[in-house]
Chain A
Amino acid sequence: MSWRDAREQAHVFARRLIGGGFSVGDRLLITADTWPGFVTAFFGAQYAGLLPVPVSLPAGLGAREAYIAQLRRQLAASGAVVALATDSLAGYVATAAEGTSVRLVGAMAAFEALPEKAADLRPLGPGERCYLQFSSGSTRFPLGVDIRQDQLMANIDASFSERGIDLRADDRAVSWLPWYHDMGLVGILLAAVCSQRSIDVMSPADFARRPLQWLALAARQRATITYSPSFGYDLAARRAQRQSLEGLDLSSLRAAGIGGDMIQAPVLRRFIDTFAPAGFDARAFLPCYGMAEMCVALSFSTINTGFALDIVDRGQLTDRHVAAPASGTNAREFVVCGKPLPGHSVEIRDDAGKPVGERRVGRIFARGPSMMPGYFGEPEASAAVLKDGWLDTGDLGYWRDGEIVVTGRAKDLIIVNGRNIWPQDIEWAVETITPLRRGDACAFSLQDDDGAERIVVVVQAWPADAAEREALRAAIAQMVKETVGVDGTVQLIRPSVGLPLTSSGKLSRSRARTNWLAGVYKDGGQRPDVVAVEAAARP
């Protein structure tokens, strides 16, 4: 579809929204499958003055109930009054919308039945809201980033600059990224509209099933730009071990952006080894760092130079929070994420809030013209991350020659395969299992050396009978899988060992992680005699 036709269709859609009596500022929820209707509705909403709210799709086998519950929370958080779904999801959205403020819900056909009012369009302008981005917050308490027109344009402009992808006249992008995620929505779709370039897109589901179609499409269309989290490059390289690459020519790709999760150097090396024979140029790799709170991007590495590694001493990193250059067995490698975009600044601060110097690990703060004003309708959550004009990214990192190296997160957020998982969501679900109670579970993630994360759940419960223990452990593992769709390691511990708490009595996931790594919870945890006596003395 040409962008001109897309605009015509968006105009028609906008007049129907106006004809349907929807007001400026109303929210329109859209299931963000990769379909033309999304483009029509997203831009139609812009022309009618409504705010689109892209939402994700059901994730896998038997996901119906969890998906409807999630939709219901997203409808509530956005206060949407109208909702558009693909034909196949219209029933789910309708069910979720029962008893909410939604006045019209349905597939595209329901919108085509609205009278097309011959009214003037009411396009959103500079300084106004643009859309709400749900990619932050827990599944239980979703937070929609309030994306404004000005901030969005600032972010896209900066990413086109020579300190970003250095946009060229003949650029063409290919993508499998979901449109409910900032990297797919802004980095691909909105960037293409703003730059008036062509894009070729496929759905994430198609990518997951046939990863090599992504690269075949790039080759066929002579694409110059693509983006993906590490795991996308991983999936493609793995699948390529089983398939012939004959005829695949990736030499047109000049920018292969990587972001959205911890960048895994071994994955990138494997991708290069696999696809260099197909013409992939290692210099195309373009590590980036960003977050939805900055629309999408905060830093890019230097275009056309490939990825840079920094190799540091593991012990000094964990014990002294210093990134000391090292080599050998106790070294750990990080991919360097580049300099902040033009107009944006970054501070890395210590626990006392003081900016730190070169190679000291601290918490990453950022500010600039792309920064969100806050989360939609959530002043408390906004105030928790916006402090004195700076955004607390919740990430940890250090400076290396003016470039940012991200080492992990200060927040307890877990990211698996590019998906944000809040430990609370796992803990709350696990604690619904009999006989567990609130506060019995602690979820955190461990990072493998290649940057991949795996989930660990420590639960304080120790049925005396070994078979019962195993049954409980299995039930918890199943609950983790059902809740977040990925496997986790479950470790039961004796209540006498207990989970670590902070001085204010809150669960300390970071100390639980440290304990885990130190082997404290092995076989249910140590049981010093004195503790056993105490436990026995309890009623």
Chain B
Amino acid sequence: MRSAHKFKVYDFTDPVTSDTDLPPREQVVAEIVQRLEPFRVDARPITGATVITKDLNIDSLAVMDMVMELEDRFDISIPLNDVAEIHTVDELAEAVLRKVGGR
């Protein structure tokens, strides 16, 4: 009886198969910039080279929310170690595109 008990690790990030075409890079960058717009600190526009946690007034929870929104938007999951390598908008766009491409 006892051995009937078990543990299960749930993964809520199963890749969703989809046959939509790869979004163009500009579109991904534009989507990221749009989500970051509320966190802009001065008149300088957000570009691919913007360092997300440095040039913007955004805290870690908001960053997490944004990454989550992007994941939902593109049906992907960006692994933690990839997230740890990301500093700029361009790098985030690259990570999204890599995942969308490999899906």
- Residues on A lying within 8 angstroms of B by beta carbon are 1-6, 33-36, 39, 57-64, 67, 88-89, 91-92, 189, 192, 196-203, 205-206, 208-210, 213, 217, 417, 478, 481-482, 485-487
Contact = CB atoms under 8 A, between A and B. Distances in A.
A194 to B, nearest CB: 12
B87 A62 contact: yes
Given A58-B80, A62-B84, A206-B13, A196 B2 contact: yes
Interface of B: 2-13, 51-54, 59-61, 63-64, 67-68, 71, 79-87
A416 B26 CA distance: 37
In terms of DSSP, what is the predominant structure of the interface of chain B? helix
Contact of A64 (B7, B64, B67, B85): B85
A209 B59 CA distance: 15
Contact of A61 (B3, B10, B83): B83
A59 B51 CA distance: 17
B24 to A, nearest CB: 24
A217 B10 contact: yes
A189 B81 CA distance: 24
Nearest to A197: B5
B53 A62 contact: yes
Given A57-B80, A60-B83, A485 B60 contact: yes
Interface centre among A36, A57, A60 (most CB of B within 10 A): A60
A61 B53 contact: yes
A380 B71 CA distance: 47
Nearest to A206: B12
Contacts of A60: 53, 60, 63-64, 83-84
A206 B10 CA distance: 9
Contacts of A61: 52-53, 60, 63, 67, 83-84, 86-87
Contact of A205 (B2, B80, B85): B80
6 contacts: A3-B3, A60-B84, A61-B52, A61-B67, A61-B83, A206-B10
A4 B9 contact: no
Contacts of A1: 6-8
Residue from A61, A88, A197 with most neighbouring chain B CB atoms (10 Å): A61
A475 to B, nearest CB: 10
Nearest to B83: A61
